[in-house]
Amino acid sequence: MATIVFIQPDGSRETHAGMPGQSIMDCAVDNGVPGIRAQCGGGCTCSTCHGFVGAAWFDRVGAPVDDEADILEFVPGRRFTSRLTCQIVIREDLDGIVIHVPAPE
């Protein structure tokens, strides 16, 4: 199990447990985290699971894969630390990872 810390644009935060092998998006949706809508269900086609990986975690998570990078190019407000949370698989070494939820468009 790994804990995921979701921080909203207003600074409020919630922490949820995720199981290794599921995605951070799955954890967010299972727990009703606002702002992670995941309309394509993890198909890497909608970008509504966009999040900013906490800077201290980005190297450990790694850069987007090719298809993901293509989608992120069109995401408003994209940053260097942007990822589609459906493409981040929870691992034990990501315990405590911080994901900043983008402000609504």
Closest to ligand FES by CB, 51 vs 94, is 51
Q: How far is the CB of 19 from ligand FES (least distance, A)?
A: 18
Q: How far is the CB of 85 from ligand FES (least distance, A)?
A: 7
Q: How far is the CB of 67 from ligand FES (least distance, A)?
A: 9
Q: How far is the CB of 71 from ligand FES (least distance, A)?
A: 6
Of 49, 60, 54, the C-alpha closest to 26 is 49
* Cα–Cα distance measured from residue 44 to residue 67, given in angstroms and rounded to the nearest whole number: 7
Structure tokens at 16: 């949820």
Closest to ligand FES by CB, 11 vs 76, is 76
Closest to ligand FES by CB, 42 vs 54, is 42
Are 18 and 4 within 8 A, CB to CB? yes
Cα 15 from chain centroid (whole Å): 13
* Cα–Cα distance measured from residue 60 to residue 41, given in angstroms and rounded to the nearest whole number: 24
Instruction: List interacting residues with ligand FES (CB under 6 A).
Output: 25, 38-40, 42-49, 84, 86
